[in-house]
Amino acid sequence: MQFGVLQSEETLISVLALARALSLTGVVEGDLAAVEAYKSSGGDIARQLTAEEVHLLNRSSAFGAGFTLVHLAIRFQRQDILAILLTEVCVCVCVYGANMAGSTI
């Protein structure tokens, strides 16, 4: 049974890695659906690319270590994608700030 759990965890990691790669290329290519799929699967929009991931994506002219989805949306002038990414960030900051101030939402 332990093997089945491990295999499921590896599959989940592979699916999330694939979703992340698709979202990154989605920003570059203007594919909003790929970014939304990554977000809806629980992907972290603030996660930075590692040097290894940049190498695996094999598009050094588009990707750089430390870039996030927001960096890429700005770099490739994807205002529609940027608006979706920043809306989520704004909601999180606003809720967090309100909770820190003692407000209830």
CB atoms within 10 A of CB 70: 16
Q: Average model confidence (pLDDT) for the chain?
A: 75
42 vs 77: CA distance, rounded Å: 24
For residues 69 and 20, is the Cβ–Cβ distance under 8 A? no
Residue 79 confidence (pLDDT): 92
| pLDDT > 50? residue 9 | yes
The per-residue pLDDT for range 62-100, each reduced to its tens digit, is: 889 999 999 999 999 999 999 888 876 555 555 445 454
Q: CATH number for the 2-100 domain, one of 3.30.70.60, 3.40.50.1970, 1.25.40.560, 3.40.50.10420?
A: 1.25.40.560
pTM over 0.85: no
For residues 59 and 75, is the Cβ–Cβ distance under 8 A? no
Mean pLDDT of the 25-38 span:
88
Residue 15 confidence (pLDDT): 61
37 vs 30: CA distance, rounded Å: 14
